[in-house]
Chains A and B, each alone.
Chain A
Amino acid sequence: MLKKSLAALALSAALWSGTSHAETISVFCAPTEFEICTNVANAWKEKTGNEAKINKMPALLDDAIPIYQQLLAAKSTDIDVLFLDVIWLGMFKNGLLDLKTTIPQADQDKHFASTLNAAKLDGHLVAMPAYMDVGLMFYRKDLLEKYGKPQPKTWDELAATAKEIQDKERAAGNGEMWGYAWQAKSYEGLTCDAIELIASNGGGTIISDDGKVTIDNPKAVEAIEKAKGWIGSISPEGTLNYDEEASRAVFESGNAVFHRNWPYVWGTSHKPGSAVIDKVGVMPLPVGSAGQKSSGCLGPMYYGVSKYSAKPAAATDFVNFITGPDMQKKRALQDAVNPSIPALYNDADVLATIPFLKDNQQAFADSAVRPSGYTGTSYNRVSQAFYRTVHDMLSGSGDVKSGLKSLAARLEKLKESR
């Protein structure tokens, strides 16, 4: 009996060492992307025999920062692959493995050069692009058609159209209808929403690439005052505490004409449970005045490997796999997010799922970039000072003009990276 089981053990050990050594790595994924991550992990297992365990991140992505912080500071081997926002790369660069030589150059070259370059810090490639994110305007094409309205080109047109349709819909008995759902909670997302309004009005992006604080200007004042007027008229007062998901709930329950969000809403608004399936249109964000650029906030996402991973080879392979063309296509088909690989923008299957994808290339080109490049490790405090100030202004306390002036003075002190 004992002999038999010993023999079986020896045999299985021999088999074990004979096959390639299967490894299990641990991966972070956004909660809204759990499904696609699981699919990718399954495909990866089929291909390599290795397993990837998926860990859900907090719903407010910024809440992942302390988790990463702790794991990296403790040099933890518990986690191998990190999911990263572009604005975090500077913050975590010391904890991320250099992928420059371990991921084939040909694979790197498949991505948008600008997106890949944003992950090259101090000569290291700290992460690989997973997909592009840019602020887009979703709208109810059925309602625009019903009231014979064109796609608005400027924010003023959008506000006027929103107001008119909202009022008429309410008069027709749809009392819950609102004109415009967006995000103005006191959080990172408000930095995005506000920078879009200001940049598309010709008011710059808070701090210019060469480090000049530009936020104190009349165009920025005008843009914020405009948005302030929307709260309570075309946008519910709750907007002041809405993040992406809370505002999406308003739009997908059919209670908003316009909705500013990221490309993933195209996917979610066409899934069961949405009240607006096939009623949704999407366009680049409006501009402040004719001649300005539509300035969607640019937020590509990345995957990187922890420097303290015990299985760096497997983890790097997974990162290359999940950011590669096949998986990005899968992601585009399943969740309608925008790939970071230009070749996929001509892919027939992808275009069938995301018909507006080609227009998005223009949105990427015109996008507004948050000033994380210049501010580096100081980005978070710059952004917090900014979104808190804007939140104060939107909620009615504080004069916009003098507020931006004092904000500019504070940013002068906060802006320098270490």
Chain B
Amino acid sequence: MSAKLARRDHRAAWLFLLPVLVVILLVAVWPLARTFYFAFTDAYLDDPSVYSIVWFDNFIEVLNDRSWWVAVRNTLVFTVISVAIETGLGLAIALLLNAAIPGRGLARAAILVPWAIPVVVATKMWEWMLNDQFGVINKILSGLGLVDHGIAWTASSSLIMGVVIFVDVWMTTPFMVLLILAGLQLISPEIFEAADVDGIPAWKRFWSITLPMLRPAIGVAVLFRVLDALRMFDLAYVLAASNENVMTVSIYARDRLISFQELGVGSAASTWVFLLVALVAIIIIGVLRLDRAAGT
């Protein structure tokens, strides 16, 4: 009786899942499988029907390309620095917003604005604000007498990565705030009350109660942001086209695939990007023990 019921339940569950599985098959598995397949061919984009299998040649070609390693370095630098800053800032702002200050509802809504602006629009906006001749930032700096001539923020090879990181921090810190704030509000106030009664100092409360209890929330937020940052394309591309100083692995793959029409090599590069992102995701989940945190 109960076994029969369970079987029926299972069947119903699969039936309900079927549409989702079909959609995932169509929009995720199929294109991904095609990319993997093309990575082993010497196909070109203008006529993808003519090709032969070259096995691992494309993967090796990507690894032998100096530009690829420049892109990997840029991507890692960008990811580590931007996510670190976003996490720190996000935590600080979330703690502020969590405190019962007047008007915090408004502040919470306002802080989401940068995140709601499309990346291309935000990037273009910052590009003009940072323009060396007409930019408002340089006008302010020279008005304050800090600089003689406008600084060419997006031109110098040393500054441009800083600009990319800065704009990304501006755009995605709200996302961090939101996730950490959600985590903060899950912590029962009774724990803090008990700590209060015991006379635990504030920094100790933060270190021994807030942070450990926030770990799952911060972990998930960091994971999302890292995966997002590793495949970053739009911000660097809009700001500097294919400038090598901020070329990410996604831009590299796009160049090979679209600009050079090398469907085979481009697919191999995309596959490397996929493997890189997967590897980092596994490491983060392992280090932060997110699976266990979620399970218990």
Contact = CB atoms under 8 A, between A and B. Distances in A.
Interface of A: 60, 62, 65-66, 69, 72-73, 91-92, 94-95, 176, 185-187, 236-242, 246, 249-250, 253, 255, 377-378, 380-381, 384, 388, 391-392, 395-397, 418
A381 B260 contact: yes
B46 A92 contact: yes
21 contacts: A69-B45, A69-B46, A185-B240, A186-B243, A187-B241, A236-B150, A236-B152, A237-B155, A238-B132, A238-B133, A238-B155, A240-B152, A241-B240, A241-B243, A249-B133, A378-B260, A381-B260, A384-B255, A391-B243, A392-B157, A396-B157
A94 B241 CA distance: 27
Nearest to A93: B46
A235 B45 CA distance: 39
A391 B48 CA distance: 33
Nearest to B262: A381
A377 B259 contact: no
Interface in B50-80: none
A186 B241 contact: yes
Interface in B243-293: 243-244, 254-255, 258-261
Contact of A380 (B134, B156, B259): B259
Given A66-B258, A388-B242, A249 B157 contact: no
Given A186-B244, A237-B132, A395 B259 contact: no
B155 A395 contact: yes
A383 to B, nearest CB: 9
A392 B244 CA distance: 9
B159 to A, nearest CB: 10
A91 B240 contact: no
A127 to B, nearest CB: 16
Contacts of B173: none
B156 A395 contact: yes
Contacts of B255: 384
Given A95-B46, A249-B134, A186 B240 contact: yes
B193 interface: no
A69 B150 CA distance: 39
Contacts of B260: 378, 380-381, 384
A191 to B, nearest CB: 12
Contacts of A236: 132-133, 149-150, 152
Nearest to A181: B133
Nearest to A92: B46
Contacts of A378: 260
Chain B interface secondary structure, helix, strand, loop or mixed? loop
A250 B134 CA distance: 9
Interface residues of B, number: 28
B131 A381 contact: no
Nearest to B163: A241
B65 to A, nearest CB: 10
Interface string B142-157: 0000000110101111
A388 B66 CA distance: 13
Nearest to A90: B46
Sorted from nearest, which 8 A-B pairs have the closest CB atoms? A238-B132, A237-B152, A240-B155, A238-B152, A186-B243, A241-B155, A241-B154, A66-B258
Contacts of B38: none
Contacts of B45: 69, 73
B241 A377 contact: no
Contact of A91 (B134, B154, B261): B261
Given A73-B48, A91-B261, A241-B152, A176 B133 contact: yes
B77 to A, nearest CB: 16
Contacts of B155: 237-242, 395
A258 to B, nearest CB: 15
Contact of A238 (B48, B154, B242, B254): B154
Contacts of B156: 237, 240, 395
Contacts of B150: 236, 238
Contact of B46 (A242, A377, A384, A388): A377
Interface string B11-47: 0000000000000000000000000000000001111
A377 B44 contact: yes
B189 to A, nearest CB: 51
Nearest to A189: B241
Contacts of A255: 133
B30 to A, nearest CB: 15
Interface string B128-172: 000111100000000000000110101111001000000000000
Contacts of A62: 241, 259
Nearest to B255: A384
Contact of B157 (A72, A187, A395): A395
Contacts of A377: 44, 46, 261
B240 A69 contact: no
Given A236-B152, A238-B155, A418-B44, A250 B258 contact: no
A95 B134 CA distance: 42
B243 A185 contact: yes
Given A91-B46, A187-B241, A397-B157, A384 B259 contact: yes
Nearest to B44: A418
B46 A250 contact: no
Nearest to A186: B243
Interface in B201-256: 240-244, 254-255
Contacts of A397: 157
Contacts of A246: 131
B242 A253 contact: no
Contact of B241 (A60, A69, A253): A60
B261 A253 contact: no
Given A238-B154, A388-B242, 12 more contacts: A65-B258, A66-B258, A69-B261, A72-B46, A73-B46, A236-B132, A236-B152, A240-B155, A242-B155, A246-B131, A391-B244, A392-B244
A94 B152 CA distance: 42
Contacts of A395: 155-157
Contacts of A253: 133-134
